[in-house]
Amino acid sequence: MTIERDNCRLRRRGLMAGMAGIAFGPAVALAQAKPELPKIAIVYPGPREWATSRVEAVVSGLRASGFAPTQIDLSVRTTEGDPAQVAPMVAEAIDKGPAVLVAAGPNVLQAAMATGRNLPIVALDLESDPVASGMANSLARPGRNVTGLFMDFPNFTGKWIELLIESVPRPGRIGVLWDPATGSVQLDAAKRAATGANIEADVFEIRSRADMEGAVAGARNKAAQALLILSSPVVLANVKLLADLAIQHRLPAITLFPDFARTGGLMAYGPNLLTMYRQIGIMVGKILHGEKPGDVPIERPSKFELVVNQRAAEAIGLKIPLAVLLRADEVID
């Protein structure tokens, strides 16, 4: 399948059984790319159909940095949300010898670090603390081979709790859905925020799609009045399922990803993903211009959006307060 846009051809090609990759290039096969073109590899852990807009945003950032699509050799591999495919796809991408690897998620970043290869990495990681984890010496001066965009969850998670308190009448207990593969930064922040608001929080692990139905049902059985779904690549790949399960169990739910609300969930509050991917492209451009990744400051997301789904609210018998609706960047009626 080929999509033509801005003289940049997007082509999908098989990478391994059941998976697919995406190759950008000036209407030529990847193997025919001129040697002098800088290679950029992206490994994306979500659904293939969502990768296109993210990759286009990266290309936009590269263009803003002075690199037209015809001046780069860009390959993209997607895992369709299957965690087992992350490590082999990262290894395959690195074996191609890219000038920069874009790690679009914590599991991709961890897999890249585990290879021990000291190549420049630009990460989009909404779940990890780069300094506490040892990937960077500081935000202003990472000092190693990793830079990128990272989320500040200790200061952010409280906003989810505040939105639930505003939207759900007296929520005394919530269910927290958490993917242990992302580490404890989000979970610890969520527990502190809930405790500070005098809310009991029951934690349910979701390591894969197979865990989700049991986790949401478990929250309902524990008399949770709302769901807080912490972010992870597994969550991103399954937002529609989680939205459907929350409605089925009549649970108001909030998470980071706007697509959760757009596919039927109640509410999402988080950074604008396309803005972040464009910034990733700009950071890649800096490295292609000669800056070392250790000298490119790590950034935080700067643009956030609140998406509220009124149809979901009606389906579970909830009336969203006008104050919340007025703050929303997008209301789905």
Distance CA 191, CA 169 (A): 20
Residue 15 shares a structural domain with residue 116: yes
pLDDT at 18: 31
Whether residue 14 is predicted with pLDDT greater than 70 in this model: the reply is no
**pLDDT for the residue numbered 127:** 87
**166-179 per-position pLDDT tens digit:** 999 889 999 999 99
Q: Give the range among 117-126, 141-150, 154-163, 184-193 with minimum mean pLDDT.
A: 154-163
pTM exceeding the 0.85 threshold for the entire prediction: no
Mean pLDDT value across residues 313-320: 97
- Gap between the Cα atoms of 271 and 150, Å rounded: 11
Return the pLDDT at 19.
33
| Whether residue 216 is found in the same domain as residue 319 | yes
**315 pLDDT exceeds 80?**
yes
Q: Which residue has the higher pLDDT, 207 or 31?
A: 207
Q: Other CB atoms closer than 10 Å to residue 60's CB: what's the count? A: 16
CB 266 within 8 A of CB 168: no
Q: Are 19 and 140 members of one domain?
A: yes
Neighbouring CB atoms inside 10 A of 203's CB total: 16
165 and 309 part of one domain: yes
Query: For residues 212 and 189, what is the distance between their CA atoms, to the nearest angstrom?
Result: 22
* pLDDT surpassing 70 at residue 100: yes
CATH number assigned to the domain comprising residue 254: 3.40.50.2300
Specify whether 142 is located in the same domain as 286: yes
What is the separation of C-alpha 84 from the centre of its chain, rounded to a whole number of angstroms? 17
Q: What does the alpha-carbon distance between residue 273 and residue 279 come to, in Å, rounded to a whole number?
A: 10
Edge-first strand listing for the sheet containing 146-150 = 2-5, 8-14, 20-25, 73-78, 39-44, 100-103, 121-125, 146-150
Does residue 56 sit in the same domain as residue 105? yes
pLDDT for the residue 44: 95
Q: How many CB atoms lie within 10 A of CB 214?
A: 14
Same domain membership, residue 144 and residue 34:
yes
pLDDT confidence tier of residue 32, bands split at 50, 70 and 90: low
- Among 3-7, 145-149, 295-299, where is mean pLDDT lowest? 3-7
112 and 35 share one domain? yes
Of the given ranges (1-5, 135-139, 189-193, 257-261), which has the lowest mean pLDDT? 1-5
Residue 99 has pLDDT above 90, yes or no: yes
Q: Do residues 213 and 182 both lie within one domain?
A: yes
Q: Tell me, what's the pLDDT at 17? A: 31
CA 115/CA 91 separation, integer angstroms: 7
Residues 191-245 have pLDDT tens digits of 999 999 999 999 999 999 999 999 999 999 999 999 999 999 899 989 999 999 9
Q: Which three-class secondary structure string do you get for the chain?
A: CEEEECCEEEEEEECCCCCEEEEEECCCCHHHCCCCCCEEEEEECCCHHHHHHHHHHHHHHHHHCCCCHHHCEEEEEECCCCHHHHHHHHHHHHHCCCCEEEECCHHHHHHHHHCCCCCCEEEEECCCCCCCCCCCCCCCCCCCCEEEEECCHHHHHHHHHHHHHHHCCCCCEEEEEECHHHCCHHHHHHHHHHHHCCCEEEEEECCCHHHHHHHHHHHHHCCCCEEEECCCHHHHHCHHHHHHHHHHCCCCEEECCHHHHHCCCCEEEEECHHHHHHHHHHHHHHHHCCCCHHHCCCECCCCEEEEEEHHHHHHCCCCCCHHHHHHCCEEEC
Same structural domain, 160 and 80: no
How many independent structural domains does the chain possess? 2
| pLDDT score of 300 | 93
pLDDT at position 8 is 37
What average pLDDT does this structure show over 64-79? 95
Average the pLDDT over 1-22 and give the result.
34
Instruction: For residue 61, give both structure tokens.
Output: 């950032």
Q: How confident is the model at residue 6 (pLDDT cuts 50, 70, 90)?
A: very low
* pLDDT higher than 50, residue 98: yes
Indicate if 144 and 18 belong to the same structural domain: yes
Please list, in sequence order, all residues whose beta carbon lies within 8 angstroms of the beta carbon of residue 6, skipping any fewer than 6 positions away: 59, 69
Looking up tokens 């670090």 gives: 113
**Co-location of 163 and 146 in the same domain:** no
Q: Do 279 and 61 contact (CB within 8 A), yes or no? A: yes
For 131, the domain range is 2-150+272-295
Tokens describing residue 38:
């800088």
CB atoms within 10 A of CB 239: 25
For residue 173, the cross-strand partners are 200
More reliable by pLDDT, 228 or 156: 228
